[in-house]
Each structure stands twice: as structure tokens, then as C-alpha cells.
């Protein structure tokens, strides 16, 4: 099977799943089983692309021309392929979890929910394999629209308010800023193709370089840089499988993935380093890392605390790009993978707690670890990975970012990363501590126990993945290495 067909299948299979779900609305088991098969088939197709291309960059596959230098086109390169592997692989886990959560919590509208979920995955595949900014922008917007229905899924006034905030900020930033940056880039260079070393050198200079970068940084709202971050905690009104999708599989990862692509293939890391255009972004990312962590400390609602944690962790990836070094880019790229596994573990564990106890506030978790030991053990592993302690995956990406900061003499940034890890300890391990070591209130039901294996099994699997990735992080780093090579 040729590469063009394989890339098309990564989008066509989840799109077919999106169409199939409403058609089988009244056949729950058949519908959910076929969606699971679609997830497995999508992941298998991405692995076939990996076997065919490895970590090389493929030729561009042009699907539709719009005008000179503007076309819908696809290609494979290491960063996009890694993103596709993560998203398609975690779709399998998240779908299994979603079945258990939606049924265990007696949620409504399963067919509509899983259809939108499938459409979001199709959007991610198109975004991951986009060969130019024009194609990426189209799938970026489609991802926003498909996940909007998931945020609004419950249909309550609170859900609708959260969904409006979600859509307003993401569409407002992308159309008002991101699109302007894309048009400006096309005007300057006559192309939007992702090119090794960037396309802007010789086409823009002076203060216009950081200005254009600012349009991208704030226009890519899914990266959740402050002050355009409010959509993320607002979206926590959605069912927990959606939170897992937003934080680990699709939306926020699409944001920081786009940020890296723009830095590497549009500006060029060397160009950013020479001009110093990303220095301001480095300090904004550092501020976001600390500010979001401090806010997380004061959130009693578990999903909101995890949401602010995500805002902080995403800024690590933006920081990696803004450092404008090969090591920083590799650290940011690796952090996409390590954060995906750690954060999806935390969110699925949060959902498992809710299905078993219907408790959402951390202040209500005293003693729950003895009733839900498997769930809270998985939560602890995910938390330790986010903190960056070995032998868990998150330690490697943070280490690379520290090394990159040292290479550029940014000692304050090293301090920011260290302080961030201490704040991670405070707002994540305190949850585990009160669950295992504080006495349960007298009114705690004695019959509480773990939810179904469909609910607690997936976070256990991803927690194990956090350990496994620790030992294979070097392979991921080597896989991504070609993105830092500059050709002129």
C-alpha cells in the first residue's frame, strides 16, 4: 500500500467511524465494538506509515490546489508521525475508558459523543500529516469545531457556558491572530510549506520578527499560553473522557505541536536564535509555568486543578521552542509524549474516582485511597511522571529542557523548572497523601469500591506506559533528532 493511501486511511477510518456511530445509535455493543476496531485500524495504519518512512521526511503528497503556493497537501516527518502515533494509540485506550465511563455514569447521547470523538481524531490525523500551514490551519479549525460539541455534550447551562468560552477563545485567537500570521507569512515568502530550516530568513527582519512570532504564539490558542488560557478550565464541564481527549490525545497537544512546527519549519530555530525573536516568549512561558502551578494549588475541584497543571506543562513545550536550541526542541517534542501519558493517567483516574464515588472535590478525598487503591496508585504514578521523578518518563523531557537552558546560560529558567517541579509535588502528591493517609469521614459509605475494569484498567495501562517510556525515551529522542537538522 502506498504512502498516499495510508495517510488517507488515517483520516478516512475515523471519519467512517464518525458516520457509523449515529447509524448504529440503538445498537450500543455493536457500535462501540466497531468504533474500537476503527481505533485499532487507525493505529495500525499509522504504524504501517512508521514502518515505511521511519524518521525520514517523505515527499509531499498534493491533494488539492487552491492557488499558486496554496494547496491541501500532506507529508510525513518525525514530529508529525510521533504525534499521530500518540493520538491514534491513546484513542484505543480512551475509547475503552469512554465506554466504561459513559455507561457507568449513565451518560446520555453515546452515539453523538463517540461520533464527535472520532471526527476529532480524523482532524488530528490531518493536522499531524499536514505538509504546509494552510492544510494545518484547516484541520486545526475542524478540531475546534468537532470538540466544541463534546464540551457542550451534557447540555446543561454550565456546559453550554463552558463550551461558549471554549469556542469563543479558540476561534477568536485562530481567526483574529493565527490566520493573520499565516496570511502575512504567505505574503512575505510566497509559500506556506513546512521547510527544514524555515522559510522566513531573508524575508523579514528587525522588530517584525518577534511581532509575527507573537501573532503565532497567541493565535495558537490551543497551546493555552496566558492570558489566552481560560478556555481550558472552562472546558472541564465536559465528561471526563473529553477531558482526557483535550489534555492528552488531541486539542492541547495540537496546540503545542503547531507551536513547534511553526518554530522549526516556518521561522527556523537558527533564525530565532540569531534574531533573539523568541526571548520574550521564553519569559512568557516561564511566567505561565509558575503562575498556572500556583493557581492549581488553590483549586479544590480535581479536574480544574489538573487543567491548570496542563496549562503549566504545555508551557514547558513552548519554552523548549523559545530557547531556540536543538536540545530545547527535542525536550519540547519529547514532553509531548511524556505529558500525554502522565496527564491522561491523571484524568482517567479522576473519572474512575467520580464513577465510583461521585466525588469531584479534593477536600472530599480523605481516606478514599483505601477504598480505591488501584485508581489512586495509578494516579500516583501519573503524578510522579508529571513531577519528573525517575524511573518515570517525565523525568527525561524535563532533564533535556534543563540542559537546553544551561547551554544558553538561562540559569533563571533552570530555577523556574525546579520550582515548577516542587509546585507539582505540592498540588499533585497532596491528593495522594490525603487519599491514603488521612482518615475517612464517618459518613463515608463502607461499600465503596473500584469502578468497573473498563474504567480503572485504562489508567493502570497508561501508568505502566509512563514506566516503559522512561526506558525508551532515548529512542524517541533519536527518532526526533532529524527535525533539528538544518539544510540550506
Write the pLDDT tens digit of every residue in 15-39: 999 999 999 888 888 988 999 999 9
Q: What percent of the chain has pLDDT over 70?
A: 97
Residue range(s) defining the domain that contains residue 312? 278-488
**Per-residue confidence band for 107, with pLDDT thresholds at 50, 70 and 90:** confident
Give me 163's grid cell. 463550551
Over residues 319-373, the pLDDT tens digits come to 999 999 999 999 999 999 999 999 999 999 998 898 888 888 999 999 899 889 9
Q: Which residue has the cell 485500524?
A: 41
Gap between the Cα atoms of 396 and 401, Å rounded: 9
- What count of residues does the chain have? 488
Choose among 185, 248, 148: nearest CA to 461: 248
Q: In terms of pTM, does the model score above 0.75?
A: yes
User: What is the chain's mean pLDDT, rounded?
Assistant: 90
pLDDT mean over 161-165: 86
DSSP 356-381: HH---BGGG-TTHHHHSHHHHHHHHH
Over its C-alpha atoms, the chain yields an Rg (Å, rounded) of 21
488 has a pLDDT exceeding 50 = no
Residue 467 has pLDDT above 50, yes or no: yes
Q: Is the pLDDT of residue 158 over 70?
A: yes
Residue 443 in any domain: the answer is yes
pLDDT of 123-141, one tens digit each? Answer: 999 999 999 999 999 999 9
Total H helices, total E strands in the chain: 21, 2
Give yes or no for a contact between 377 and 295, defined as CB atoms under 8 angstroms apart.
Answer: no
Domain membership flag for residue 356:
yes
- Give pLDDT, residue 440: 81
Are 308 and 296 contacting, i.e. CB atoms less than 8 angstroms apart? yes
8 A C-beta contact, residue 220 and residue 187: no
How far apart, in whole angstroms, are the C-alpha atoms of residue 313 and residue 333? 13
Structural domain includes residue 297 = yes
Contact 194, 261 (CB under 8 A): yes
Indicate the number of domains in the chain.
Answer: 1
3-state helix vs strand vs coil in the chain, percent to 5:
75, 5, 20
Instruction: Find the farthest-apart pair of alpha carbons in the chain and give their distance in angstroms, rounded.
Output: 71
Q: How many CB atoms lie within 10 A of CB 23?
A: 11
Residue 360: inside a domain: yes
- 88: pLDDT strictly greater than 90: yes
Cis amide prior to 321 (ω within 30 degrees):
no
The three grid cell numbers given for residue 60, joined into one nine-digit string: 509531499
Q: How confident is the model at residue 101 (pLDDT cuts 50, 70, 90)?
A: confident
Tens-place pLDDT, residues 220-247: 988 889 998 888 888 777 677 766 766 6
* Residue 336 belongs to some domain of the structure: yes
Distances (CA, A) of 215 to 85, 177, 261, 314: 29, 5, 15, 18
**Cα–Cα distance between 300 and 309 in angstroms, integer?**
13
With beta carbons less than 8 A apart as the criterion, state whether 319 and 289 touch: yes
**pLDDT tens digit sequence for 253-303:** 899 999 999 999 999 999 999 999 999 999 999 999 999 999 999 999 998
Q: Looking at the domain assignment, is residue 429 inside a domain?
A: yes
**Is residue 241 a part of any domain in this protein?**
no
CB neighbours (10 Å) of residue 409? 9
Amino acid 250: pLDDT: 77
User: Residue 54 and residue 47: Cα distance in Å, rounded?
Assistant: 10
For residue 419, the model assigns a pLDDT of 96
CB 79 within 8 A of CB 261: yes
Task: Tell me the per-residue pLDDT of 420-441, one tens digit each, with 9 for 90 and over.
Answer: 999 999 999 999 999 999 888 8
Residue 245 confidence (pLDDT): 66
Is residue 399 situated within a structural domain?
A: yes
In three-state secondary structure terms, 71 is: strand
Amino acid at each position: 500500500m502506498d504512502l498516499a493511501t495510508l495517510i488517507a486511511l488515517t483520516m478516512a477510518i475515523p471519519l467512517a467511524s464518525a458516520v457509523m456511530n449515529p447509524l448504529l445509535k440503538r445498537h450500543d455493543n455493536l457500535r462501540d465494538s466497531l468504533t474500537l476496531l476503527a481505533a485499532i485500524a487507525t493505529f495500525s495504519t499509522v504504524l504501517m506509515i512508521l514502518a515505511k518512512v521511519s524518521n525520514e521526511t517523505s515527499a509531499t503528497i498534493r491533494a488539492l490546489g487552491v492557488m499558486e503556493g496554496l494547496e491541501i497537501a500532506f507529508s510525513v516527518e518525525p514530529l508529525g508521525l510521533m504525534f499521530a502515533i500518540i493520538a491514534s494509540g491513546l484513542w484505543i485506550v480512551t475509547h475503552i475508558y469512554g465506554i466504561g465511563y459513559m455507561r457507568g455514569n449513565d451518560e446520555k447521547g453515546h452515539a453523538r459523543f463517540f461520533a464527535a470523538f472520532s471526527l476529532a481524531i480524523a482532524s488530528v490525523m490531518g493536522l499531524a500529516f499536514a505538509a504546509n500551514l494552510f492544510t494545518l490551519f484547516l484541520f486545526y479549525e475542524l478540531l475546534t469545531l468537532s470538540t466544541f460539541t463534546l464540551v457542550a455534550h451534557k447540555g446543561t447551562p454550565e456546559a453550554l457556558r463552558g463550551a461558549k468560552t471554549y469556542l469563543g477563545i479558540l476561534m477568536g485567537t485562530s481567526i483574529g491572530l493565527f490566520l493573520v500570521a499565516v496570511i502575512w507569512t504567505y505574503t512575505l515568502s510566497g509559500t506556506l510549506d513546512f521547510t527544514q530550516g524555515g522559510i522566513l530568513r531573508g524575508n523579514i527582519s528587525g522588530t517584525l520578527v518577534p511581532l509575527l512570532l507573537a501573532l503565532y504564539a497567541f493565535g495558537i490558542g490551543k497551546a493555552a499560553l496566558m492570558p489566552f488560557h481560560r478556555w481550558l478550565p472552562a472546558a472541564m464541564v465536559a465528561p471526563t473522557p473529553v477531558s482526557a481527549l483535550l489534555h492528552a490525545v488531541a486539542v492541547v497537544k495540537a496546540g503545542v505541536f503547531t507551536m513547534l512546527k511553526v518554530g522549526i519549519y516556518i521561522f527556523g530555530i537558527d533564525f530565532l536564535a540569531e534574531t533573539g525573536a523568541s526571548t520574550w516568549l521564553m519569559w512568557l512561558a516561564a511566567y505561565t509555568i509558575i503562575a498556572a502551578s500556583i493557581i492549581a494549588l488553590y483549586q479544590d475541584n480535581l479536574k480544574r486543578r489538573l487543567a491548570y497543571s496542563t496549562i503549566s506543562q504545555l508551557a514547558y513545550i513552548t519554552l523548549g521552542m523559545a530557547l531556540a536550541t536543538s536540545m530545547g526542541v527535542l525536550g519540547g517534542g519529547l514532553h509531548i509524549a511524556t505529558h500525554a501519558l502522565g496527564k491522561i493517567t491523571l484524568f482517567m483516574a479522576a473519572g474512575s474516582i467520580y464513577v465510583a464515588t461521585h466525588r469531584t472535590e479534593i477536600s472530599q478525598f480523605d481516606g478514599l485511597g483505601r477504598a480505591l487503591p488501584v485508581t489512586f496508585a495509578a494516579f500516583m504514578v501519573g503524578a510522579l511522571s508529571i513531577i519528573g521523578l525517575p524511573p518515570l518518563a517525565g523525568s527525561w523531557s524535563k532533564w533535556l529542557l534543563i540542559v537546553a537552558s544551561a547551554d544558553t546560560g538561562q540559569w533563571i529558567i533552570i530555577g523556574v523548572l525546579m520550582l515548577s517541579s516542587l509546585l507539582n509535588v505540592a498540588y499533585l502528591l497532596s491528593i495522594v497523601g490525603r487519599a491514603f493517609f488521612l482518615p475517612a469521614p464517618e459518613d463515608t459509605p463502607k461499600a465503596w469500591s473500584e469502578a468497573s475494569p473498563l474504567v480503572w484498567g485504562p489508567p493502570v495501562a497508561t501508568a505502566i506506559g509512563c514506566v516503559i517510556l522512561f526506558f525508551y525515551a532515548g529512542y524517541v529522542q533519536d527518532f526526533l533528532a532529524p527535525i533539528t537538522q538544518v539544510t540550506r
